[in-house]
Amino acid sequence: MAVTINGTTRLMGVIGDPIAQARTPGAINPIFAAKGADIACVPLHVPSAELSTVWAGLRAMPNLVGFGITLPHKQQALDLCNSLDPVAARVGAVNLVRREADGSLRGYQFDGAGFVRGLRTAGIAIEGRSCLMVGAGGAAVAIAFALAEAGAARDRARAGQRLSPLDGVPISWKDLFDTAGIATEAGSALLKDRVPDRDARVLANATAMGLVCLGKTHMSELAFSGLGYNPSTATPPCVNDETAVSGGSSSGAAASVAFGLAAAAIGSDTGGSVRVPAAWNDLVGLKTTSGRVSLEGTVPLAAKFDTVGPLCRSVEDASLLLALTEGSKPIHQRGDAAKRMPLHRRSLRPVARRDRGEPGCDVRRNP
């Protein structure tokens, strides 16, 4: 299907030097056309010496969706982004940049996750394999991180030393949970560039149990809406109608799971902010008892009523996630039974919905 370009077409670029080798435009334009998206992807040849100049121009283009980054810019681009996804910050390289509604540019890193997912899709097992990495560019570092992360959880499983039943399961986090060294803005321009120096208690609990943080998700501004609409940042879509809002205020959390981008998500609920988006996106959402899960390191709406809760695909998953985020083991995991319990995978697995979804788990959609 041919791509039609007119005055309303939004642009996605691919930046590199050289750029003739880039195959992304040829691969992604037919996908845009098939989905009816008025977006065109074009190659942009930008020498390293001119990257910062071009970057400023891209920030000023309202019809720019974002752009991919290829060699040799992935590490240089890191310092030019206004904000970073946690994976990009940890790896130290960027391969995708999204232009936000306010013109700011947020960097992401999917090289590693994409490589590992591609291996598994092709039926290539990672377990028990050695890996020789040739080169230390941004993509190589990202792949090394992803392989190590996947392998660490598998190694613990083989040795009977799982940190929890969900060790190695990737989940997303609503952007009101503090992440050390990564912006936590609660969907508000008032908190723009707010960077905490330590993780929220609930995130630290989950990490200690082996859960993998994929990234942070959009939300209603300061959690003050049940619709999920956010004109300051962006509004995630509903899985049942992509032209509709996803419900809020844990809007991106619900969308990340419903579109198959994350196995589960952690949100917050004061007056329905987990339950509403869960219901609108065919998920299970758990509103926990006030005070059961720590609010230390979370941006408050109404501290006496705020609660932390999961969005997932089954009641069993919700039970496991509740136990792990509050800092305890599920009741059936205590004692010797924990060593015999298999990793729960069946529903805690990203499910690709046909003709739905967008890359990345920080689900963003311009209003």
Question: Letter for the amino acid at 322?
Answer: L
Are residues 77 and 226 part of one domain?
no
Tell me if 74 is assigned to some domain: yes
Count of domains observed in the chain: 3
Tell me if 328 is assigned to some domain: yes
Locate the DSSP E strands across 52-122: 64-69, 83-84, 96-99, 105-108
Are residues 124 and 169 part of one domain?
no
Burial of 254 (0-12, 13-18, 19+ CB in 10 A): buried
Peptide bond into 62 cis (omega under 30): no
Tell me if 77 is assigned to some domain: yes
Q: Crossing angle, helix 111-121 and helix 138-158, to 10 degrees?
A: 50
Last residue in a domain, options 138, 161, 184: 161
- Residue 238 sits in a domain whose CATH number is 3.90.1300.10
Q: Are strands 105-108 and 96-99 parallel, antiparallel or unpaired?
A: antiparallel
The pLDDT assigned to 29 comes to 93
Catalytic residues, by residue number, are 174, 249, 273
Q: Are 309 and 269 in contact (CB under 8 A)?
A: yes
Are residues 148 and 71 part of one domain?
no
Query: Alpha-carbon dihedral of residues 69, 349, 220, 290, nearest 10 degrees?
Result: -140
Domain extent, residue 114, equals: 110-161
3-state class (DSSP) for residue 69: strand
Question: End-to-end distance of the chain based on CA atoms, in angstroms?
Answer: 27
- Count other Cβ atoms within 10 Å, centred on residue 115: 17
Tell me if 2 is assigned to some domain: no
Nearest alpha-carbon partner for 286 in 300, 272, 299, 296: 272
Give the distance, in angstroms, between the CA of residue 318 and the centroid of all CA atoms in the same chain: 19
The pLDDT assigned to 152 comes to 67
Residue 283 CA: distances (Å) to CA of 78, 165, 239, 309, 317? 35, 21, 10, 13, 11
Are residues 310 and 230 part of one domain?
yes
Last residue in a domain, options 75, 93, 109: 109
Tell me if 364 is assigned to some domain: no
The pLDDT assigned to 133 comes to 66
Whole-angstrom Cα distance, residue 332 to residue 30? 49
Q: Are 308 and 298 in contact (CB under 8 A)?
A: yes
Residue reference for tokens 């590490």 = 75
Are residues 114 and 95 part of one domain?
no
Tell me if 5 is assigned to some domain: no
In the structure, how many helices (H) and strands (E) does the chain have? 10, 13
pTM of the model: 0.61
Digitized pLDDT (tens) for each residue of the chain, 367 residues in all = 667 788 999 999 999 999 999 999 999 999 999 888 899 999 999 999 999 999 999 999 999 999 999 989 988 998 899 888 777 877 788 999 999 888 889 898 888 777 877 887 888 876 666 676 666 566 666 666 666 666 667 777 777 878 888 888 889 999 999 998 788 999 999 998 898 988 899 998 898 888 888 889 999 999 999 999 999 888 999 999 989 999 999 999 999 999 998 999 999 999 999 999 999 999 999 999 999 999 999 999 999 999 999 999 999 999 999 999 988 655 444 444 444 333 333 344 444 333 333 333 443 333 3
Last residue in a domain, options 123, 142, 161: 161
Tell me if 349 is assigned to some domain: no
Tell me if 120 is assigned to some domain: yes
